Structure 1
Amino acid sequence: MVQVALTAALILLAVLGIFQVLVALGLPYGRFVWGGQHRRLPPKLRVGSLIAVLLYVGFAALLSSRAGVLPGSESFIVRVLTWVLFAYLVIGIGMNAISRSRSERWTMTPTTVVLALATLAIALS
């Protein structure tokens, strides 16, 4: 179960990371991120997208550690941060669900739900 959850989380984080790089490069998919107000992201949001990629890498490392693929799975800080990540994703579900952008609501909300459920499964392991 944990390996399935980790695989799902890593795939989603990779896809989200690639997508954030694409919008940071100026591709016209801004309606799916950052509230969906811009077709092409302005410079500050492009930087935000690149920062998001770094966060996704950190999330992937954290989840991999908690799942036992990387060292530290029983570390107190890894356990706590996994639950913090889960809480962050639950908040993200709500934020995506109330987005003014229909594109963001219909793509990012279910994506975040799956990512949160995968994180929960890993946190409970």
Structure 2
Amino acid sequence: MVAFQVSLMFGAPFGAAALGGANPGQLPVELRVVSGVSAAIWTFATMIVLVRGGYAISRLPRGLSRWGTWVLVGYLAIGVLMNLASFSPGERFGWAPFTLALFILTLVLALGGFAWVLAMTSAASH
């Protein structure tokens, strides 16, 4: 996600698969700025998820990682809906499934990780 946004920021011709697909080819300068901000947000989201998953690669407080993971779950849920509603085939058939996978994995992490999933499936089988 970060690499895609950075490539858009630097002028890669992927505009048809981004921001509603209304700008095929390179994005206009103002939307390249949006892609740069998006890359920064996704980088921060990555740090939040890594800390929540137990990989303390940064000094983010655990409370921020718990809260931030839930914010990211909501953000990704909205992203899935927006990608599905897009007129851009790249967003509907490429980004929507990708964002759905990120949503599911982030939800599992927010609920307590895969240990939570194993506990739930173990409880359900008894």
* Structure 1 residues 77 and 105: CA distance shift in structure 2, 3 A: same
One-letter amino acid matched to 2:98 = T
Q: Which has the higher contact order (CA 8 A, sep 6+)?
A: 1
Considering only CA atoms, is the larger Rg found in Structure 1 or Structure 2? Answer: 2
Separation of aligned partners in 1, 2:108 and 2:34: 28
Work out whether residues 66 and 73 of structure 1, in 8 Å CA contact, stay in contact via their aligned partners in 2: no
The equivalent position to 1:122 in structure 2, one of 98, 101, 109, is 109
2:10 is matched with which residue?
A: 25
The TM-score normalised by the length of structure 2 is: 0.80
* Separation of aligned partners in 2, 1:29 and 1:20: 10
Q: Which residue of 1 aligns with 2:117?
A: none
The size of the alignment, in residue pairs, is: 110
Residue 27 of structure 1 deviates from its aligned partner by: 1.6
Counterpart amino acid of residue 27 in structure 2 = L
Q: 2:81: which partner in 1? A: 94
Aligned-CA RMSD value: 1.7
Q: Where do residues 41-60 of structure 1 align in structure 2 (5 Å cutoff)?
A: 41-60=27-46
Whichever residue aligns with residue 22 of structure 1, its letter is: S
Q: Secondary structure at 1:91's aligned position in 2?
A: helix
Unaligned runs of 5+ in 1: 1-15
Superposed counterparts of 1:99-114, under 5 Å: 99-114=86-101
Q: Paired residue for 1:37? A: 22
CA deviation string 1:73-110 (max 9, x = no partner): 98333212211110110011000100011121111101
Identity value in percent = 35
What is the distance in 1 between the residues matched to 2:61 and 2:107?
Answer: 16
